[in-house]
Amino acid sequence: MLTWYKTGTAQQKKTFWACYSGWALDSFDMQMFSFLLPALTLAWGLTKAEVGVLGTVALIVTAIGGWGAGILSDRYGRACILVVAIVWFTLFGVLAGFAQTYQQLVVARMLQGLGFGGEWAVGAALMAEVIDPRHRGKAMGYAQSGFALGWALAVVVATVLLAWLPQELAWRVAFWSGIIPASIVLFIRRHIKDAPMFERARQSRAPRASLASVFSRKYARSLILSSVLVIGLQAGCYAILVWLPSLLSQRGVAPTSMIVTVFIMAFGSFCGFAFAADLCDRIGRRPTLILLSVCAWIVTVSYMLLPLNTTLAAVLGFLVGFSAIGMFAALGPFLSELFPTNVRTTCMGFAYNVGKSVGAGSVVGVGVLSTHIGLANAMGTFCLVAYAFAVFGMLLLPETRGIAIESIGEDGDRFAPEPLAEPARAHP
């Protein structure tokens, strides 16, 4: 299964670890914040609607950050923009720890969200262009499994800080602590380079990426449908990740039991990433995403709505992480294979982050709806609708496994006629 890594070049391995660590850092910050929400609610007397806004605002502005970072990445290079994104969201994460009012924290989170927007699409494009095309799905899927590591670290750090420090100080230190993993990521990324195909595209006569690129009719169909797909996946994912600690706390789960529950779900997500990474190179991107979306639809609603004992909660928690989060391993390869190199991160950044921002509305929606039907019912309802939405987008998009991404035409909707060698063959 790891043959793709053992046979990779030194530059491919460096790129893998650079993207893996970046996605771990992204997850670390997001999950850390979700664990701090109960403490912030008590410390500042916030309503559920205010908590929902606070949890959503950074995700909404990621659309602007992802769009802007995508354009800059297509113009000036993936590697340098990844470094800028890390520095940006780390800086405003630290400043968020100094906020004295709810409004100041909202502004800091908004500015931090601009940096988050650039991380996923730029990293995914860099991986897609550097890695051997036969193993693109596996390599990108395993890189995104850094999400599980960041999630697990956030659980440990948030739990320790909230247990050892007063709540008013604990959440501030949690924000400040982000500078440590960010420094490690910057150290890892110091030697990564852009792929030769990107350099060739930049020197070609192809139109340069701009704000108007995403409005071109050439890319409209792929852009709209990929945005619909991401909206559904992200709406379901954020409804779970942001509100899960609050749901567990509401159900009377002790802090130590909550740690175990979240670790089980994080481990499930890691297994899901590995499974989806391998499967999308075997059977295709779209079938993998549809299969896991249906699974996520079933297990998430079951997890939220069924009365659970300890054993059933652990099993369903693992399956939620496996399907609802693990499926994102196939999303990176899929989106990177829909657009030509000269506008790849512009279009990917726009589709992914618009989807992320709109999907993040489920955080506020769950908070508002929960006042009428309860938190568990609200989470289950949003997940039910979200995965139906995702499957609808997937059914209208083409399969891309085996495509030579350097040869994707400028029309954006047609793909290179010549597939890669042995596209259907399974690679261990």
Q: How far apart are CA 109 and CA 242, in angstroms?
A: 15
d(CA 33, CA 284) in angstroms, rounded, equals: 34
Domain assignment present for 165: yes
Is residue 390, in this structure, part of any structural domain at all?
yes
State the Cα–Cα distance between residues 252 and 65, nearest whole angstrom: 38
Question: Does a structural domain hold residue 172?
Answer: yes
For 310, the domain range is: 12-194+217-401
Quote the CA–CA distance of 339 and 80 in Å, as a whole number: 21
CA–CA distance, 105 with 101 (Å, rounded to integer):
6
Let me know: does 419 contact 404? Beta carbons within 8 Å: yes
Instruction: Tell me, yes or no, whether 48 lies in a domain.
Output: yes
Residues in Cβ contact with 39 at an 8 Å cutoff, skipping those fewer than 6 apart: 162, 167, 170, 171
Q: Which of 115, 103, 127, 122 is nearest to 30 (CA)?
A: 115
Answer yes or no: is 425 within a domain.
no
Is 347 part of a structural domain of the chain?
yes
Can you read off the two tokens belonging to residue 400?
Answer: 């891309």
Per-residue pLDDT of the chain (428 residues; tens, 9 = 90+): 577 788 778 888 888 888 888 888 888 887 787 777 777 777 788 777 787 777 677 777 877 887 788 888 888 888 888 888 888 888 888 898 898 888 888 898 888 888 877 777 788 888 888 887 778 888 888 888 888 888 888 888 888 888 888 877 888 888 888 888 888 888 887 778 888 887 777 776 666 766 777 777 888 888 899 999 999 998 888 787 777 767 767 766 666 666 777 788 888 988 999 899 889 888 989 999 999 988 888 887 777 777 766 677 778 778 888 988 889 889 888 888 888 887 888 888 888 878 877 887 787 788 888 888 888 888 888 888 888 888 998 999 888 887 777 666 555 444 443 344 444 333 33
- Render 210-231 in DSSP notation, one character per residue: -GGGGG-TTTHHHHHHHHHHHH
Residue found under tokens 């693109």: 136
What's the domain count of the chain?
1
In a domain, 260, yes or no: yes
Which residues are within 8 A (CB) of 128 and not within 5 positions of it... i.e. 6 or more apart?
136, 140, 332, 333, 336, 337, 344, 405
Domain assignment present for 361: yes
CATH code assigned at 381: 1.20.1250.20
Q: Of all residues in the chain, what percent are helix, strand and coil, respectively (each to 5)? A: 80, 0, 20
Q: 330 near 392, Cβ under 8 Å?
A: no
